Structure 1
């Protein structure tokens, strides 16, 4: 079975999700700082020093938030970014008018709140954001524009704001799609592979094997089942320690995997035991392939700790007739493996079909 417990797998994926969120927020801080730098130049060219100074302050706030996120001081960084956007967007909307489109930056918070881990506060945060947005709309109807701009400048500024907001929405959406795909792939790997050896775990091997066996039965082709066991593995643990034993399992796993043909299946059956399914192999072919594996492992000692540990493996081979259930084939392969052990180990023994 999979050596990674479900709780550990869930914790790993949760950790990836949190790391992805904070990395995204740090990148947004950089992006927003670059936008403020652009607006600093724009307002300076337009001869609006007050608006330029506002963007200087905003640029400093984003730089501070980026630094805090890098130090894992996430809460003050988030509060700083919230304050910057709310105050900056609100002030610019009132001073330049609703038509400038600065208020669109408040909408970026919708996706940020939706993907954050603080789900219990999301409704409150979104309700607050809506009230601020509606309040700004009402304020611009009552308060005269402090810095009226020519229509063409207002239109250009609004289009620039719309473009920037679209880019930010597109980036955050695409970023999270990629992170979700990576988390799904990681979770799928944890669910199907053995953590120590990197081979298929027992459950997933059985799933894959059933499909291969059904295909072989339909085609009338041969298929062989093999159980392999590391010889004297307990002595390895007793003499060299469990870390060396783990290294031996990884070493043998790599050697076995390196000898597979296309279509062969290899999994960790449990402990120091491995299972192989060899489609298209009759008894002589499977025995020949296992003999090649056995010899390769025997001449490839494992480097662990301060020295080299000699390793050998015994194999039990079972050519599977179409009418033999999988469980029975495993028992017969195990019986052949037992005979290989009894005959002196480091050998291949085939069961009768």
Structure 2
């Protein structure tokens, strides 16, 4: 039927995510990654604080106090979505702490390993383009090589017991490896989670939280293939809110949105788990009912029609009464999905002209 598609105040969910949505999701992924880094780094520096305090290296103990406070601030910045500032603070702390530690207690302590963590994270960072990233990455590489050249054989300011230096070396080596594994694992988990969220965004109507048009068509193709292979029935129910334009015009678009979300809730809870309810467009909805013949689909449609007729949607002007008209068709073996839905649409159109608030079976199915 597809009438009054634009009468709803809420647009259909986009079938393809915009570049802005992808970028926002990528930045949120990076923010969560840095929050995990902040917690891990803060705990690591707490261990260093205790170690240097007991070893009598007071300057480094105080530096680690500052590092802990730095990561507390970093976590706070990330919590309030100041990702760029937090990332710059992390880079400053990691590099500064590594340089000072190597200067005070020597190259063999292994604190320079932490600088190697920054370039990979910088590469996956979505915050800037490569023209901004490349100088920072190259600068960190140059800094590391410079530290190796000038400080690897230099005499440290504070000479610690060789056993302590050896312990620090392997502690730092193992910690960096663990952090790399943690970062890779966390990034992988967040990428998977992000993909799931993007998939949901791409297949779900944002207002009603039902499937969108593209998603239900993809599922219909899959179910149709099963139907043709196994010889099982499959039906479509196309339904439309009656006099929806009058709701928007009289009570406002907010009331219209409330009507759509209330109707969607009835449709979603009124079908089986194997069935699929989708927002087809505007105030139209489509139900895909696998393994259901046209008679069974008609019974489902009548049950839903009665449930919606009993529905009362609150509004500023008082409770709103809602009714819907339903068109039902079964997918025939010799027709496409579009043809079956078109027959349900024609039945819906007939129901509208016969007075609305009714269920009409497609003529071809009725004849059978």
Report the TM-score, using the length of structure 2 for normalisation.
Answer: 0.86
CA separation of 1:160 and 1:306: change in aligned 2, threshold 3 A:
farther
Unaligned runs of 5+ in 1: none
Matched, 1:99 2:118: no
Aligned residues: 353
Of residues 341, 359, 366, the one that matches 1:348 is 359
Deviations 1:308-338 (A, max 9, x none): 1111111111233211333332232222212
Paired residues of 1:9 and 1:187 also in contact (CA < 8 A): no
Offset at 1:102?
1.1
Deviation at 1:142, TM superposition (A): 4.6
Equivalent residues of 1:13, 1:183 under 8 A apart: no
Q: Deviations over 1:149-190 (max 9, x none)?
A: 333222211122123222322332223223222221222112
- For residues 79 and 277 of structure 1, the distance between their equivalents in structure 2, rounded to whole angstroms, comes to 51
Shift of 1:277: 2.4
Q: CA deviation at 1:75?
A: 5.0
Query: Which secondary structure does the structure 2 equivalent of 1:274 belong to?
Result: strand
Correspondence for 2:129 among 111, 115, 119: 119
For structure 2, the 5+ residue unaligned runs are 6-10
- Asked if 1:313 corresponds to 2:324, the answer is yes
**Larger relative contact order (C-alpha < 8 A, sep ≥ 6)?**
2
CA distance in 1, matches of 2:78, 2:228: 59
How far 1:104 sits from its partner (Å)?
0.8
Q: Identify if the C-alpha distance between structure 1 residues 324 and 80 changes in structure 2 by more than 3 Å, giving closer, same or farther.
A: closer
Residue 206 (structure 1) shift = 1.4
Select the residue among 52, 56, 69 that pairs with 2:61. Answer: 52
How far has the Cα of 1:238 moved from its partner? 1.7
Q: What residue number does 1:239 align with?
A: 250
Q: Which residue of 2 aligns with 1:14?
A: 23
Mapped partners of 2:16, 2:233: distance in 1 = 40
**Aligned partners of 1:262, 1:61: CA distance in 2, in Å?**
50
1:197-219 C-alpha deviation (Å, 9 max, x unpaired): 22221122111112212221222
**1:222–1:319: 8 Å Cα contact kept in structure 2?**
yes
Matched with 1:3 is 12
Say whether residues 1:248 and 2:262 are aligned partners: no
Q: CA deviation at 1:226?
A: 1.8
1:106 and 1:133 in contact (8 A); partners too: yes
Distance 1:303 1:172, change over 3 A: same
CA contact (8 A) 1:17 1:179 kept: no
- Please state how far the C-alpha of 1:234 moved relative to its aligned partner: 1.5
- What is the distance in 1 between the residues matched to 2:193 and 2:153? 49
Q: TM-score, normalised by structure 1?
A: 0.90
Query: Which stretch shifts more, 291-300 or 29-38?
Result: 29-38
CA contact (8 A) 2:107 2:153 kept: no
Query: 1:8 Cα deviation (Å)?
Result: 6.2
Q: Confirm or deny: 8 A CA contact 1:222 1:320 kept in the other structure.
A: yes
For the 8 Å contact 2:311–2:322, the answer to whether it is kept is yes
Q: CA RMSD in A?
A: 2.5
**Are the structure 2 counterparts of residues 319 and 21 from structure 1 closer, same or farther at C-alpha, using a change threshold of 3 Å?**
closer
Match of 1:31 among 32, 37, 40: 40
Distance 1:7-1:261 versus aligned 2 partners, 3 A rule: closer
Contact 2:113 2:173 in 1 (8 A): yes
